[in-house]
Copies of this chain bind each other. A is one copy, B any other.
Amino acid sequence: MRGNLYEALSLYVVTDEREDVDSLLTALERALAGGCTAVQLRRKREDGGRLVEIGRRIRELTNRYGALFFVNDRVDIALLTDADGVHIGQSDISCRDARKLMGKRWIGVSAGTLEEAKAAVSDGADYLGVGSIYPTSSKDDADLCGLSTLADIAQATALPIVAIGGIKASAVPEVIGHGADGIAVVSAVMSASDPQRAAVELKRLLAVLPGRIR
Contact = CB atoms under 8 A, between A and B. Distances in A.
Contact of A93 (B73, B76, B97): B76
B76 A48 contact: no
Nearest to A90: B49
Nearest to A50: B91
B76 A75 contact: yes
Copies of this protein in the assembly total: 2
A49 B98 CA distance: 10
A152 interface: no
A54 interface: no
Interface residues of A, number: 22
A52 interface: yes
A105 interface: no
A101 interface: yes
A156 interface: no
Tell which of A91, A93, A100 has the most Cβ of chain B within 10 Å. Answer: A93
A90 B47 CA distance: 10
A77 B93 contact: yes
B47 A97 contact: no
Contacts of A52: 93-94, 97
Tell which of A52, A75, A88 has the most Cβ of chain B within 10 Å. Answer: A75
Interface in A37-95: 47-50, 52, 73-77, 79-80, 88-94
Contacts of A89: 47
B91 A48 contact: yes
A69 to B, nearest CB: 17
Contact of A74 (B76, B97, B100): B76
A49 B93 contact: yes
Nearest to A73: B48
16 contacts: A47-B91, A47-B92, A48-B73, A48-B92, A48-B93, A49-B90, A49-B94, A50-B91, A52-B93, A74-B74, A74-B76, A75-B76, A76-B76, A76-B79, A77-B93, A79-B101
Interface of A: 47-50, 52, 73-77, 79-80, 88-94, 97, 100-101
